[in-house]
Structure 1
Amino acid sequence: MLKESKFELGALLITPGARKAISYHEIFQAISRHAAGDWGDVSEEGAKLNDQALKESGRLFSVYESSNGIRFYIITEANRNTTTVLLPDEY
């Protein structure tokens, strides 16, 4: 279930590594959290930067961990045209 979105996600992209390593269910749960402004495991400073980026149309960056311990990122570009799910080594 998607939470209320605070911004447009644009086109959703999932890299091959993320698609292989993380279940779609967990990916879409994380996308829902990201869209609602829950930035996951970013630092306190990173969360503040994201909150500022919401107001100023900047790039949004979240970090999550799957149930099998794989960390992954979700990035929404400043223009809100795309949101990408990727592994750290695909960054």
Structure 2
Amino acid sequence: MLLCVNPLFSLGQTVATPHALELLAQHNTSCFSLLARHQSGDWGNVPAEDALSNQQAIERGYRIMSVYPLKTGKVWIITEADRSVTTVLLPEEY
């Protein structure tokens, strides 16, 4: 179970692709720390309009997406609208 100090929404089941986990390991970055950032409203590197969309998604029950850049790539985190699952993946895996 992942704990977030100020969770804004439920993550549901959390899953990650093998390639995303491999990239995170290469950069010594914790998947759990990124999930906590996502759940607390730190969307990473998203345009202002996407950040606003995420805020509205929390209130209205839409899909939420964060983007976290690494030195050699980036990781996406997507929480489905029904909050049943949150997926950590690479952009090319979408």
Tell me the TM-score normalized by structure 1: 0.90
Stretches of 4+ aligned residues off by more than 2 angstroms: 23-26
1:81 alignment partner in structure 2 = 84
**Alignment match of 2:46 (pick from 42, 47, 62):** 42
Assess if the C-alpha contact under 8 Å between 1:76 and 1:83 holds in 2.
yes
**Alignment match of 2:33 (pick from 29, 36, 44):** 29
User: In percent, how many aligned pairs have the same letter?
Assistant: 41
Structure 2, unaligned stretches of length 5 or more?
A: none
Aligned residues: 90
Structure 1, unaligned stretches of length 5 or more?
A: none
1:12 alignment partner in structure 2 = 14
SS in 2 for 1:37: coil
Tell me the TM-score normalized by structure 2: 0.87
Shift of 1:47: 0.3
SS in 1 for 2:50: helix
RMSD: 1.6
